[in-house]
Amino acid sequence: MVTISGKRLLFSTEGKAWRGKIMQFAQSPQVLIMGNKLRIYFSTRESNDEKFLSHVAYAEFDEKFKLLNFTDSEVLSLGSLGTYDEHGIFPLNVVRFKERIFGYVGGWNRRKSVQIDGAIGISESFDNGKTFVRIADGPIIDSSLSEPFLIGDPFVIHVNGTFHMWYIYGKEWIKDPITESFERIYKITHAISANGIDWTKDSLNSQLISDSIGPNEAQAMPTVIKINDAYYLFYCFREVFDFRENPKNTYRIGCSVSSDLRNWQSEEIEFEQQGHEEDWDSEMRCYPHAFTWKGKNYLAYNGNRFGEEGFGLAEILTSVR
Amino acid sequence: MNFTQAPFPINIDGCTRIFFSTRSTKDKDGNYCSYIHFADYDIENGKIVSFSETPLIKSGGRGTFDEHGTYPFSLIRYDNRFFGYYGGWSRKISVPYEVKIGMVTSEDGKNFEKCGEGPVIGASLFEPMTISGPRIFEFNELLHMFYISGTKWKLDSVGKPESIFKIRHATSRDGINWIRQNSNILDSILEEDECQASPTVFYAHSYYHMLFSYKYGSDFRGTDRGYRLGYAISENLYNWRRVDAMLTIDASEESWDNRDISYPSFYNYINRNYIFYQGNDFGKSGFGYAKLTFLEE
């Protein structure tokens, strides 16, 4: 059993501006620890005609989680014409490796017959994480024979000399019989790498985490943390249709546990209620990111309306296994 | 039949089977889809024996890489089976399309089965955009694929995005996992944004020879900036030297190929060497072939 304790809205978009406009959304929090400061990257939206573009910014917090500052410019520019990440970056998963800082890019591009496609790229920072540049313009993980589209949501850790990545791949675009729009089903999978750049996909079991609400379940944003001797994988999942407005069908956060990073067992998860002021995640919880800081384990995540109000933070408590 | 593009001949048990692509009629948005067919050809008597009835590879499902067409195609017999590779097309918003390479297998060279819903070769770190035009060969017990890789989208004189692409090379032992050479293997001679396509490679007289098409990067339709034939040689399949001046084409007086010769494909049939190609206007009128001879022969 995992208990998510002391949850609160950590970063609110209310009253904030970004690049001269009202800040819309602060989604998919991703942490980089800077000594006594906590830096959290997030994606914010900028309207472009009727569509929007997601850009990466960050906010910094002190040891008591007081907001110190946030950036007013993008950390990594969008990709050039025709590339995998020209219409949005969501998330930017930031990983320290020795003296280097890599940024794994969840890149999105718009298509004609369906809304979007995605692939995963890599960038690197040479100014201590303030800005990132692409190692090259193409993706490091693209669609493949058994993962036909919608590659995204990278999360990378380095364990005993091997890089591990959890990410999502699209399985099917299916038509909502009521709205007649095409909606996507995606699942979580895993790849490994020796250098963080060249990856080998798992070929044995493509779908890593079993469905808990049925085959049409969409699973997203895997994040892995080691607590004591076990690995915990948090992710969000939802129904394929009517998930934007209907709280019954929308994202909630799930958890699986593993001792070997290969075999995952579903683990019960409970969010401790904080009282009436905690309305920010009353209907939806999505895009989790787990990290350890100063001896405690935390989960950052988004609440209602996919993080329009900002992102929250809570402590992860595990019972002795 | 609208267009017969990208002829690819292969000798299957003595029969010359020519794979090619045709276009559907345009839809309400002015878009069309390409499909792969074949014709069985009696090269001794110069007669087409039969045509395939239906497209060999179905378009993919919603959101897949080959949802909007399959073009072009090449095939090889390997490990007692046939491996086929094709460009799968899907439409985008900011640029007209994206292409990735799909794979099919066949027991008989007639009926094909997709190896997966997704591509066998997609974009990669150093090949960021369109990956298309696969040509498959076997040399020294290794599969070699020559293909084209989009390097950028360039806006032409009326602001329309045109893909700039160069010939690339990858190798594989199983046909599924490919090691890319990750560099442009030919110099560009027209301009930096020269586009190169349809490499066909064969071994003769101690060298590997490549014929290919090349053109200017933009404003090439109906102008003298369109496709022409190029020629390069190599000792090892990795390092190539352009020797375009060593290629001589006897001029044609015929109306279907008097302006353009593109999409060359080498074909050997009982000690005779041929080049199949498509003619004027990107193959609108059809394809044909010519005899290939080496001057020192």
Specify the DSSP element, H or E, that contains A155.
strand A149-159
Q: Which two tokens stand for residue B279?
A: 């003619």
Answer for the pair B189, B244: CB distance below 8 angstroms, yes or no: yes
Task: Report the DSSP beta bridge partners of residue A170.
Answer: A149, A186
More confident residue, B288 or A111: A111
- Supply the Cα-derived Rg of chain B in whole angstroms: 18
Contact at 8 Å (CB) between B65 and B100?
Answer: yes
Read off the pLDDT of residues B149-196 as tens digits, 9 standing for 90 and up. 999 999 988 889 999 999 999 999 999 999 999 999 999 999 999 999
User: What number of CA atoms fall less than 13 Å from residue B276's CA on the CB side?
Assistant: 22
Rounded to two decimals, the ipTM of the complex is 0.93
> Which residue of chain A comes nearest to B155, CA vs CA?
A81
Which secondary-structure segment (H or E) carries A80? none
For residue A121, the distance in angstroms to the closest alpha carbon of chain B comes to: 7
Tell me which of A137, A176, A185 to substitute to probe the interface with B (most B C-beta atoms closer than 10 Å): A137
Chain B residues within 8 A of A87 when measuring between CB atoms: 94
Residues (pLDDT < 70) of chain A are 48-50, 204-205, 276-278, 320-321
Task: Grade residue B94 by pLDDT with cuts at 50, 70 and 90.
Answer: very high
pLDDT digits (tens, 9 = 90+) for A23-43: 989 999 999 999 999 999 999
| Dihedral over Cα of A224, A227, A231, A235: its sign | negative
d(CA A242, CA A240): 7
Tokens 């004189």 belong to B157
Q: Does B88 touch chain A (CB under 8 A)?
A: no
Evaluate if residue B253 carries a pLDDT over 80: no
pLDDT at B262: 84
For residue B152, what are the β-bridge partners?
Answer: B164
Reported as a single tens digit per residue, the pLDDT across A224-281 is: 999 999 999 999 999 999 998 898 999 999 999 999 998 999 999 999 987 766 689 9
A107 backbone dihedrals φ, ψ, rounded to 5°? -105, 145
Q: Name the residue among B65, B62, B71 with its Cα closest to residue B24.
A: B71
Q: How far is A319 from chain B (nearest CA, A)?
A: 42
B289 versus B3: the higher-pLDDT residue is B289
Measured between CB atoms, which of B63, B98, B125 is closest to A170? Answer: B63
d(CA A172, CA A175): 10
Q: What is the pLDDT of residue B99?
A: 98
Say yes or no for a CB contact (<8 Å) between A145 and B120: yes
Question: Chain B closest CA to A44's CA: distance in Å?
Answer: 21
Query: Per-residue pLDDT for B283 more than 60?
Result: no
Largest CA distance in chain A: 52
Question: What average pLDDT is seen over chain B?
Answer: 90
Q: For residue A65, what pLDDT is reported? A: 97
Question: How close does chain A come to B240, measured CA to CA in Å?
Answer: 25
Tell whether B70 lies on the interface with A, counting CB pairs under 8 A. Answer: no
Which of A83, A150, A172 is closest, CB to CB, to B128?
A83
Q: Does the beta carbon of B1 lie under 8 angstroms from any beta carbon of chain A? A: no
Residues of B within 8 A of A80 (CB-CB) are 152
The 3-class SS string of A174-207 reads EECCCCCCEEEEEEEEEEEECCCCCEEECCCCCC
| Tokens 């110069």 -> residue | B46
Task: For residue B199, say if its preceding peptide bond is cis, omega within 30 degrees of 0.
Answer: no
ω before B161 within 30° of 0 (cis)? no
- Range with the lowest mean pLDDT among A108-122, B47-61, B87-101? B47-61
| Residues 150-209 of chain A whose Cβ lies under 8 A from any Cβ of chain B | 150, 170, 172-173, 175, 182, 184, 197
What confidence category does residue B271 fall into, taking pLDDT thresholds of 50, 70 and 90? Answer: confident
- Residue-wise pLDDT for B29-46, tens only, equals 778 788 999 999 999 998
Tell me whether A115 touches chain B (CB under 8 Å): no
Q: What is the pLDDT of residue B297?
A: 45
* A237 touches A251 (CB < 8 A): yes
Unique residue bearing structure tokens 């949802």: B67
Q: Please identify among residues 147-186 of chain B the ones whose CB lies closer than 8 Å to any CB of chain A.
A: 150, 152-153, 161, 163, 176
Contacts of A122 in chain B (CB under 8 A): 125
Note the pLDDT of residue B113: 97
Secondary structure (3-state) at A126? coil
Residue B286, pLDDT above cutoff 80? no
Rounded to whole angstroms, the maximal C-alpha distance in chain B is 54
Give B37's Cβ-side CA count (13 Å radius). 18
> Considering chain B, what percentage of its residues have pLDDT values greater than 90?
70
Average pLDDT over chain A reads: 94
Dihedral angle over CA of A115, A87, B167, B278, nearest 10: 40
Task: State the pLDDT at residue B3.
Answer: 62
3-state secondary structure (DSSP) of residue A106 = strand
pTM over 0.90: yes
